[in-house]
Amino acid sequence: MNRSLRRVGGAVVVLILICVAQLTYLQIINAGHLANDPRNTRAALRDINRPRGPILSADGVVLARSVPSKDNTEFKYQREYPEGGLFAQVVGYQSFVFGNTGVESTYNDALVGREADLQLDNLSDLVSGSNGTGTVVLSLRADVQREAAAALGLQRGSVVVLDLTTGEVVAMYSTPTYDPNPLAGHNSLEVQKAYKALNDDPNKPNLSRAFRELYAPGSTFKSVTAAVAIDESVATPAEPVYPTLSQLDLPQTDSVLRNFGGKECGGNLAESLRQSCNTTFGQIGLDLGNKFVGGMRKFGIGVIPPFDVAPGAIASIGPPAGSFDLNQPLFAFAGIGQGDVATTPLQMALAAAGIGNGGVIMKPHVGAEIKNSKGKVIRRIANEPWRTATSATTAQAVNTMMTDVVEQGTGTAAKITGVRVAGKTGTAQADGGPPHAWFIAFAPADAPRYAVSVIVERGGSLGSEATGGRIAAPIAARVLKVALNK
């Protein structure tokens, strides 16, 4: 009998210890994760009746604010988004039903005044019992954002503009977009109805295409291929001279890789980039072999970019490491940004930024600074390097070649009077319809400041007749002009 009691007692002790360990994990170790989970409505309810600071653009436009609630509910404040869908996919929303997203989530503690730096600065508010809030100022400029929206128009796609010296996002707009105001309402049934309508919409207006969607980058990726080829001593801008071909025979298969429109092209690396010659860059992909994967990774392919917009950016992808011997044709297609390569528009903006910034890619971020309720700057968001994509020498060589693309190659539609632009066009084949039109660039080419990535899905208004040079390059030129105050 005593032996049986000891067994039962031992089992009870073990169960108690397991419960204690689980509670310790949930309440201490995992507390922050649970508190910030957007599905945690308790966190949203905790903050919904607190004063909440505004979110501003870099040029002072109010993107989010709280006003006294006018409805007959227990909520004291109503969150408003005066710019509607223009900044929705970055700013996000505060919802007591579905939690917070975007900047509203990432910088929640600053907005409600709970961030440590703000609390130290607002000691007088704590003594008086009032709640001091924070103001979040973004790096996004409303003038550049509006130009991006106007340039895309009704075409589905995305525009990303970066300050390549700091990593600050100057514009990030995707279409279609959505109005976040209904999701911040106080009527739970109406909020759920609006949320369901968004999720049921086949056009995915709530999808942050700029950093949450993958596309084949097409020939814009040839800038990355060129940089890796130079770094790995496979090619220089002048040598070797690749044969003039209309198609490239692919090893391990009876298939071929064709040039756009069946044209013949070739020459050295610089000439091939200017003409966007598929056969040359397909051959370079084969010549690089497994080294190509490591070179892509330096640019961030296969790595999740650090990004301060919840739920964060997704990783772009490339061929698996060590897969060349079994899948050589896919490396030829990777050389032209097809096959196993798929990137976000943000990633291609980062690639352009790295080339323009002497080989260094800065961490992308939309937050610029945190202010207290009196307008005093409490904290500035740090500008930090993320990756060294290539050497300064290689970056300058690719800069020169990309400038040639705009001066006299496929990207002439991106020219800006008085400013030299370095860019690369792309027309990416996509399953189920017309190709995507791409363009990446940075300017001024001789003193780079801003990088841009543009994708127009399915060729936009031109459909199957679209190319990156015809439809995406002019959009890039428009937003760069505004960014540069030209």
Q: Residues 6 or more apart from 96 whose CB is under 8 A from it?
A: 41, 44, 45, 48, 75, 186, 188, 191
What contacts 77, CB < 8 A, 6 or more positions away? 48, 49, 50, 51, 52, 66, 67, 68, 69
In 3D, which of 345, 352, 368 has the Cα closest to residue 443?
352
* Closest listed residue to residue 173, CA positions, set 459, 461, 456: 456
Helix axes 345-356, 291-299, angle to 10 degrees: 90
Distance, CA of 110 to chain centre: 23
Catalytic residue among 208, 219, 316, 453: 219
> Are the CB atoms for 78 and 180 separated by under 8 Å?
no
Spatial separation of the C-alpha atoms in residues 369 and 136, rounded to whole Å: 6
Parallel, antiparallel, or unpaired: how do β-strands 55-56 and 62-68 relate? antiparallel
Q: State the DSSP string of 146-200.
A: HHHHHHHTTS-EEEEEEETTT-BEEEEEEES----GGGG-S-HHHHHHHHHHHHH
Token pair for 121: 């600065």
Q: Is 464 annotated in the active site?
A: no
User: Which residues are part of the catalytic machinery?
Assistant: 219
